[in-house]
Chain A
Amino acid sequence: MATIGVDQLVRLEGVAVGYEGVAALRDIDLQIAPGELIGIVGPSGCGKTTLLRSLLGEPELYAGTAEVASHTRVGYVPQVETVDWNFPITVEQVALLGSWRTNRWLPWTSRAERSRARVVLAQLGIADLADRPIRALSGGQQQRTFLARALIRSPDLLLLDEPTSGVDIKTRHEILHQLAALNSAGVTVVLTTHDLNGVASHLPRLIALGEQTVLADGPPSEVLQPKILERAYGQPMLVVQSGHETYVLPVPEEAPGAHGDDLPPPEVVSVVAAPDRDDA
């Protein structure tokens, strides 16, 4: 059995993972190097969260080898939909949960911990919200609060489940810029996303999931291909290239040629100018 290489942070080989004896993903081969920025894409229920959480060693491992380099500090940001927003807790208190191991047997936090929390909140532009209850936050502020909880541990590997879901375009850009800045600072970032145009196409590496396994792994130009997307989503997709930008458009079921009888199958189309998808 091969062990994880020095230039690898994560290595999955022939992995099958799932819950309660049922495999959600099979035959997963994946390697992540330090400093990468990766997006996991695929339709709802394809196992994006399961793959992300398999990097935490959480789902049951039924086959293969899953390894994360020793001494890797992992920060995990869950989907905000799973959080109880009526819980009586402030932004700073959420951030401080991330450092619970410091003085773990004491109920209170040290001044140094609180200072560190303030620094992280300031870094994310939400220092002024420190004492605000989480139920009074906007979508973007919620994301940043949970990002702060992950960052307070100074992670080497940051895992984010749908970090841009439910936020407006401006906030989405801000979150992506913050993640890019963290990545530039050396943090390896892996995120899941539904947003092929606004998020996935801007990432340097994508992993497309479908049919319970990895269908493609590489740069967006290789992964966002009509055939791969049709396998993943079970629907024909049109891919439009405009300069460095890639746009994925679903082909309506009733559209002539959608199933490839009368017209050639959907393919990559290059255009000189494409509509700004952000305005859509």
Chain B
Amino acid sequence: MLEPFEFGFMQRAMIAATLVGSVTAAVGVFVILRRLAYIGHGLAHSIFGGAVVSFTIGFNFFLGASIWGAFSVFLINQAARRRQIGGDAAIGIVTTAAFAIGIAVISRARSFTRDFEAALFGEILGITNQDLYVTTGMVILIALVLFLLWKPLVFITFDNDVAESYGISVRWVEAIFSLALAATVVAALQVLGVTLIAAALVIPPVVARMLTDSFPRMFIIAVFIGALTGFIGVYVSWFVDVSSGATVVLVQSAVFALALSWGVLESRRGLRAARRTERLAGLERSLND
């Protein structure tokens, strides 16, 4: 049972997955409540383009992907402000275009098929100590942003239309949050890969939402689920010999299925209790008559 802990690469992978699982869930809470689940998916593809270009020109991966991601978010925000376009279309256009640039670069330089696969599906077992330091630094930075902007972020997420009238600079807060989201996707790229990031952003917050009606509690539960499923996913992947990123998302999906089943059972139980109460009330009325 303790075998995975004996290897340095597994220790690093479990730490990275726990960190990335918690931060994607934390940012994901705001993403799903703002009904922006699609942006996580799109941004992951967009940042893939940035990662490929960075690799090709020999630029730092994290820095290159972050700049690319931030630029994509800037373009999305600019395009989405035009009513004729709208947010979802803006995300679709900008992120697929950025992804296509990555594909185009790959097709010109066929030499790095392996790196292409690593970015698409994640390569958590290949994480070095330096990668782990960078990931930890990014997670701390994102956590700091969420800590400091918590109140305006909650306000904007709940009631965007009115926030400005309460003295919140909506544009600034949204811009900073978008950068934090881009940084989250970059941090998660090596752990989960482009194809699985959206799931890690969405599933833990959705499960947490099913369990509580309080925002702070939802946030805490989501972060806990994200961290735990990240850790368990990598741990289990050692034994089942399946890609770690995929295992993390499959564990999260299993938690979602459990929460959904529990919710269905609870509502049926509630319905049965209500019917029983109704029947008893009817019986009492007929006895009184």
**Contact residues of A with B, CB < 8 Å?**
20, 53, 56, 58, 74, 76, 78, 82-84, 87-90, 93-94, 97-98, 100-101, 104-107, 133, 135, 153
Contact = CB atoms under 8 A, between A and B. Distances in A.
28 contacts: A56-B164, A76-B165, A78-B159, A78-B161, A78-B162, A83-B159, A84-B158, A87-B158, A88-B33, A88-B209, A89-B214, A90-B214, A93-B214, A93-B215, A93-B216, A97-B151, A97-B155, A97-B158, A98-B166, A100-B151, A100-B166, A100-B168, A104-B151, A104-B152, A106-B150, A106-B151, A107-B151, A153-B166
Nearest to B29: A88
B214 A88 contact: yes
B218 interface: yes
B154 interface: yes
Looking at chain B's contact residues, the main secondary structure is helix
Given A88-B212, A88-B214, A90-B213, A53 B165 contact: yes
B136 to A, nearest CB: 21
A117 B161 CA distance: 22
B96 to A, nearest CB: 26
Given A83-B159, A100-B151, A107-B147, A58 B165 contact: yes
A100 B215 contact: no
B218 A100 contact: no
Contacts of B152: 100, 104
Contact of B150 (A53, A74, A101, A107): A107
Given A97-B158, A100-B151, A56 B215 contact: no
A83 B161 CA distance: 9
B209 A20 contact: no
Contacts of B154: 97
A20 B85 CA distance: 14
Interface in B126-166: 147-148, 150-152, 154-155, 157-159, 161-162, 164-166
A160 to B, nearest CB: 12
Given A78-B161, A90-B214, 6 more contacts: A58-B165, A76-B166, A88-B213, A88-B217, A89-B215, A93-B216
Nearest to B218: A88
A88 B157 CA distance: 11
B33 A100 contact: no
Contacts of A101: 167
B250 to A, nearest CB: 26
Nearest to A53: B165
A153 B167 CA distance: 12
A89 B158 contact: yes
A107 B166 CA distance: 17
Contacts of B171: none
